């Protein structure tokens, strides 16, 4: 419906040229590969961050349990 409204209200017939430009947008295989690579890098970064946080959490637990067993409390 929105597009029909634009067509009806278009007095200079710019609607056709506007959508003609949008339909000519074509993504090449290189463009798609570039986006895929960015997504992979972002996912790897997130996974590394999660791995680091889990490692820090594990180390804190070990230190806490060791200090409790040794008689010292945090």
* φ, ψ at 26 (rounded to 5°): -125, 135
Tell me the whole-structure pTM to 2 decimals: 0.43
The pLDDT tens digits along the chain (74 residues) read 566 667 667 777 777 777 776 666 667 888 888 888 888 888 889 889 999 999 999 998 888 887 777 655 44
| C-alpha separations of 33 from 36, 42, 53 in Å | 5, 14, 30
Would 74 be classed as within a structural domain?
no
What was the pLDDT predicted at 33? Answer: 87
Count of structural domains, the chain: 1
56 with 48: CB under 8 angstroms?
A: no
Would 59 be classed as within a structural domain?
yes
Would 21 be classed as within a structural domain?
yes
Count CA within 13 A, CB hemisphere, residue 38.
6
Domain with 27 in it: 2-69
Would 37 be classed as within a structural domain?
yes
Would 10 be classed as within a structural domain?
yes
Would 65 be classed as within a structural domain?
yes
């Amino acid at each position: 419906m929105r597009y029909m409204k634009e067509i009806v209200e278009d007095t200079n017939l710019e609607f056709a040229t506007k959508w003609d430009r949008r339909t000519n947008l074509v993504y090449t295989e290189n463009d798609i590969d570039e986006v895929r690579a960015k997504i992979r890098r972002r996912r790897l970064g997130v996974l590394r961050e999660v791995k680091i946080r889990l490692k820090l959490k594990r180390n804190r637990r070990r230190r806490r349990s060791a200090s409790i067993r040794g008689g010292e409390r945090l």
